[in-house]
C-alpha cells in the first residue's frame, strides 16, 4: 500500500485550525513543520512544563497531511479551507510515500550508543559492540531516556565517573529508568526511581526487568507512602534530569532528599540557565557545573560542603 502527502505552506494563525480541519476532511494524519527549516530564518519552538508555546506552529508553517493514494487531495484541501473560513483553498503540492517495511526502517535508525568510557545502550535487535562493557538493553519507547540526548549522557557519564558501590540512589524524573539502571549496574545498593508519568513508570519497570536490575519505582504520591527508607529517607546520590523550571521549584524537596555528604546531580539545564538553577539550590547545597555538552550542562554538589566540586577536566 502507498500514500500521498499533501504539503501546504501557510501562516501561523491558520496552521493549527487547518490541521484539525484536514483530519476532519479525511486526512489520515497531519504534522506541522517550520517552513523555514534549514535556512537562516529557522526558529526553534520549545517550552518547559508550565511555559509551553501557545501554538504548535511557526510564523511560516508547513502543514503536511497524509492521505490515501486514491483520495481526492484537492477536495480534502478545499473542504478544510472552507471549514476554517479561508477566502480560498491554499495552494498545495503532493509527494508520494512508498510502502516500506516500517519496523525494519525504524530499527535501522537506532544503532548502539557509546557513552562515557564503557557504557553501551543497545537496542534489542543489535548485538553489543563490546560484550565486556556496561550494557543497557533499551529500545526507543514512550519514556524519555535512551542516551541520545546530551542531558541523559551527562548524567550517565557522571554516574560512571563517580561509582558508589552499595550506596543508595534516587532517580527523580526517571523516564525510561536509564539513569537508575546505570547506577545499579555500577554497583549501587538500594535504588529508587520516581516519575509523574504512569507510562514512564511502566516502561522503567519493564526495562529494569530486561536488564536484571532490582529497582523500586514510584509515582510521586506513592513515594510518600513507600517503605520508610524511601518515604522519608535521604539518599547518597540524587539525580534529576528534568528541566530548569521544575528543578528550581523542587529545590527544597530534592535537596532534602540528599544524605549528609551525599551528591546531587541535576541536568536538563541549558548553559545560560546554570546560574539561576544553582541560585535556587544555594540555600541548601552549593552546585557547580560538572560538564557541558551541546549547550546543556550537568550541575553537581555535595551536601554539607561549602566548596563547589570542580568541573570535569577537558581531558575526560
**How far apart, in whole angstroms, are the C-alpha atoms of residue 14 and residue 296?**
34
Is 124 among the domain residues?
no
Counting the structural domains of the chain, the total is 2
Give the domain range for residue 184: 150-303
Q: What is the CATH number of the domain that holds 88?
A: 3.30.70
Task: Determine how many CB atoms are found less than 10 A away from the CB of residue 202.
Answer: 15
Give the predicted TM-score (pTM) of the model: 0.70
The answer to whether residue 62 is domain-embedded is yes
Residue ranges of the chain whose pLDDT lies below 70: 1, 38-58, 100-110, 141-145, 313-316
Tell me the three-class secondary structure of 92-154, residue by residue: CEEEEECCCCHHHHHHHCCCCEEECCCEEEECCCCCCCCCCCEEEECCCCCCCCCCCCHHHHH
Residues 82 and 201 both lie in one domain: no
Distance CA 259, CA 261 (A): 6
**Is 309 within a domain?**
no
**Does residue 133 fall inside a structural domain?**
no
CATH number reported for the structural domain that contains residue 209 in this entry? 3.40.50.150
**Residue 284 grid coordinates:** 541548601
Within this chain, do residues 95 and 154 fall inside the same structural domain, yes or no?
Answer: no
Give the pLDDT of residue 49: 46
pLDDT at 223: 85
- Going 112 to 116 to 118 to 121, the CA torsion angle's sign is negative
Query: In this predicted structure, what is the pLDDT of residue 292?
Result: 95
Question: Is the same domain home to 164 and 295?
Answer: yes
Q: What are the pLDDT digits (tens) for 105-124?
A: 555 556 788 999 999 998 88
Long-range contact pairs involving 12-17 (C-beta distance under 8 Å, separation at least 24): 12/55, 12/57, 12/58, 12/59, 12/60, 12/61, 14/84, 14/86, 15/55, 15/56, 15/57, 15/58, 15/61, 15/63, 16/55, 16/56, 16/57, 17/84
pLDDT digits (tens, 9 = 90+) for 247-306: 999 999 999 999 999 999 999 999 999 999 999 999 999 999 999 999 999 999 999 988
Of the candidates 46, 105, 93, 40, the residue with the CA atom closest to the CA atom of residue 65: 93
CA angle 198, 111, 103 (to 5 degrees): 70
End-to-end Cα, the chain, rounded Å: 50
| CA–CA–CA angle 182, 145, 143 (5° rounding) | 125
Instruction: Tell me: do 78 and 159 sit in the same domain.
Output: no
Binding annotation for S-adenosyl-L-methionine: 152, 173, 195, 241
- Assess if residue 296 is contained within a domain: yes
Position of cell 561509582? 163
Please return the burial class of 144, using the count of CB atoms within 10 Å of its CB with bins 0-12, 13-18 and 19+: buried
| Any domain includes 44 | no
Amino acid at each position: 500500500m502507498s500514500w500521498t502527502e499533501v504539503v501546504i505552506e501557510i501562516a501561523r494563525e491558520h496552521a493549527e485550525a487547518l490541521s484539525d480541519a484536514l483530519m476532519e476532511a479525511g486526512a489520515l494524519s497531519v504534522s506541522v513543520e517550520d517552513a523555514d527549516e534549514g535556512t537562516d530564518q529557522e526558529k526553534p519552538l520549545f517550552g518547559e512544563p508550565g511555559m509551553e508555546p501557545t501554538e504548535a506552529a511557526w510564523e511560516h508553517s508547513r502543514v503536511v497531511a497524509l492521505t490515501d493514494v486514491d483520495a481526492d487531495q484537492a477536495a480534502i484541501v478545499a473542504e478544510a479551507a472552507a471549514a476554517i473560513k479561508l477566502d480560498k483553498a491554499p495552494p498545495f503540492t503532493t509527494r508520494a510515500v512508498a510502502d516500506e517495511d516500517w519496523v525494519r526502517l525504524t530499527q535501522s535508525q537506532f544503532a548502539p550508543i557509546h557513552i562515557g568510557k564503557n557504557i553501551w545502550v543497545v537496542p534489542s535487535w543489535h548485538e553489543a559492540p563490546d560484550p565486556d562493557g556496561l550494557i543497557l538493553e533499551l529500545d526507543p519507547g514512550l519514556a524519555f531516556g535512551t542516551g541520545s540526548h546530551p542531558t541523559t549522557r551527562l548524567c550517565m557519564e557522571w554516574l560512571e565517573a563517580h561509582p558508589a558501590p552499595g550506596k543508595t540512589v534516587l532517580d527523580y524524573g526517571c523516564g525510561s529508568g536509564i539513569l537508575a539502571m546505570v547506577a545499579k549496574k555500577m554497583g549501587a545498593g538500594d535504588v529508587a526511581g520516581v516519575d509523574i508519568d504512569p507510562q514512564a513508570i511502566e516502561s522503567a519497570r519493564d526495562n529494569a526487568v530486561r536488564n536484571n536490575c532490582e529497582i523500586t519505582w514510584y509515582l510521586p504520591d506513592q513515594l510518600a507512602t513507600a517503605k520508610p527508607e524511601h518515604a522519608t529517607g535521604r539518599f547518597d546520590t540524587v539525580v534529576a534530569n528534568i528541566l530548569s523550571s521544575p528543578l528550581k521549584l523542587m529545590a527544597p524537596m530534592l535537596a532534602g532528599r540528599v544524605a549528609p555528604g551525599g551528591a546531587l546531580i541535576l541536568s536538563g539545564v541549558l548553559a545560560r540557565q546554570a546560574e539561576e538553577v544553582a541560585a535556587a539550590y544555594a540555600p541548601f547545597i552549593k552546585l557547580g557545573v560538572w560538564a557541558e555538552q551541546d549547550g546543556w550542562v550537568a550541575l553537581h554538589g555535595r551536601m554539607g560542603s561549602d566548596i563547589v566540586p570542580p568541573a570535569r577536566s577537558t581531558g575526560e
